[in-house]
Structure 1
Amino acid sequence: MKVLIADAFEKSGIAGLTGAGCEVISEPELKGDALEAAIRRTAADVLVVRSTKVTEPMLDAGRLSLIVRAGAGYNTIDVAAASQRGIYVSNCPGKNAIAVAELAFGLMLALDRRIADNVADLRAGKWNKKEFSRAQGLYGSTLGLLGAGSIGQEMIRRAAGFGLNVVLWSRRFDGQERPLTEAEARELGLEAAIRQIEVFLAPTPGDVASRADVLSVHLALDEGTRGLVDATLLERLRPGAMFINTSRGEVVDETALVAAVRDKGLRVGLDVFAQEPSGASGEFSSPLLPLGAYGTHHIGASTAQAQEAIADETVRIISTYKGTGRVPNVVNLATRTPATHMLVVRHRDRPGVLAHVFDHLRQARLNVQETENIVFEGAEAAVARVNLDGEPSAALCSRIKDGNTDVLDLQVVRL
């Protein structure tokens, strides 16, 4: 199996893939047309990327069957085009959660104590203790979180250590207004945190904003979250509140955020921006930076610990695919198909039985949406479950059963 790595990747990951019997081609500077050409030239089976964009023409350039996003977010990959071509897209969720949460808290602390401004003045030869002695402090404040995934959970653990109560919204708890229960905390691994601080569920993102001293965003980018942080939500933040975004720039309406900084004195810390350079370096500007916003270079996941964990997970995904044909962490399989009926075929485990069944389904113009064949101990008999986009008639079932003596029984189940 050929693996093309088109971004910076840990040496331990390359060694792991090689040890798993993969032919590894590492060209970490590939972008755009050069990446498309490399996919065609190498005939790679698997493509590994971090922030590099993967476009529809690239998917037609070679014989890719799996794309692994060595990280969590996959908005830089044309997932819809991959799905149309039967190409798996997989990611490494949760492996960078600690790193991102650490940076989010770093931005909070930096804003509260104006650390970047302190450093800038010292480097410029200025001593201004009077100016920089004024800080609110974080202890006892309320941290508002949008998102309760792996990163949101790490944020809550750190909030407990800093003495911050938490008000939380996520799609999982949408519309609910109550404390997080002990059972829910146990499921999320937050039992220790809720013994130290209050974790309260808010029914909407706006309700989080209205109660928060610090609002931190930890949402995946999709059509439901694009522009979710808009002028209406920002208006509900109190004057001088902090706003932190380490998720994706497109989750925030940047124009509305600029207005909120000007009108309400919001203190802003960002690791992500709507318009970022496509490469690792380049010219950059944002209308928020001249207004005093603190920013970092989309480095939330960029710690050695996180990258080693992501490399290990990438190796696990590709090794599993190579050895079993199954792909862990797939993000583009259908959660529900057009299937309306299941045909259950109990049969002898003989060559040609399923071919006989599928041939009759084809003649009846019934499309197979999903299928599995379970073999009993001894490999003498099996049961095939075939999900179809229509109901097989009684006559069709009779033809299937009577046409092959190895078909033992048929059942039709409405889904």
Structure 2
Amino acid sequence: MLTGKRILLIIGGGIAAYKVPELIRLLRKDGAAVTPVMTAAAGEFVTPLTVASLAGEKVYTELFDLTDESEMGHIQLSRVADLVLVAPVTANLMAKMANGQADDLPSTLLMATDTPVMIAPAMNVRMWENPATRRNLALLQGDGVRVVGPNEGDMACGEYGPGRMSEPFEIVAAVEAALSSGPLSGRRVVVTSGPTHEPIDPVRYIANRSSGAQGSAIAAALRDLGAEVVFVTGPAETPRPTGVEVIEVETAREMRDAVKAALPADAGVFAAAVADWHVEGASASKIKKGPDGAPALRFSENPDILAEVSQMGAGRPTLLVGFAAETDDVIAHATAKRARKRCDWIVANDVSPATGIMGGTENAVTLISGDGQEEWPRAGKVEVARRLADRIAAALGRA
């Protein structure tokens, strides 16, 4: 899928640089040409000889290389690529990018480029969660920089959490999506998926019966049409799609905040099965059985994410798609929901137990819009997702 594409690969200094040789191999296998650039610190983790051998091209490390700089080689390097990929990008390099520093070859290339930029962060979990890093990330995303990862897991430092660089195959999928010439190329779409978990105490929660399969399939279908996808998911069973920005949340309130932080976007597809209520004053300790019987739980309504975004005025996505999972009077309830929440489309489906749809591999939906309703035949969730993605592309193309 990357045949004829040229990737300028900037390798930052971090332990995750050990994944770069495999990343280069996969990019070239996919047809891309790779021009490598290394920070000084990157050479402490992977040798320029290894990188050059796998890339089949010279490794650039110095800003003041007289042979190249006689013709302003750093400017040329920054502009001949189809994509500038920074992997791994450290907290330090992110800070340089966000604040416009240009004191070495990699940072100068990033300042001089007019080419799309993608970063694959890799750092200690505390560094990733540091407010300065979060501010820098927001600045970069506001400047149009695409982000892939990071993943959550064990780290070389012995800690656990978000901060692991995405796997090479995930980065390649993100590169493919970024360079796709599909109908949604250049469009940004926010997709919500999965259930939310509303805690009762540290070991118990309230949730909906959602596997996240339909939302995940929709995100992948939109990615395949070239969209930049922000995938906000609750604790779902289904694996996360590759090539999209994944934001993990647990509660409805966290999902609402993540969605709003991901805006602006051209479209929003809210497929998550968000819990309608949360427990007031969830206990910080496990609730024990006692002589008084079951505890009395008080509930409060969760935020209505679809309605809030639909009615936000400035910054509202051009197209907002909600989902209505119903067990009776499906079309009537879904039509009323679309009017009440003021979204553009509602995808209605019957999730009564007899259908086997909730948690299953198939779906049967009716698309309800201002033009009326359109019943789709029962099909696999991937096929439903592709059909919906095609309709979204057509609608945005007319907008």
TM-score of the aligned structures, taking structure 2 as reference length: 0.30
TM-score of the aligned structures, taking structure 1 as reference length: 0.29
Q: Which has the higher contact order (CA 8 A, sep 6+)?
A: 1
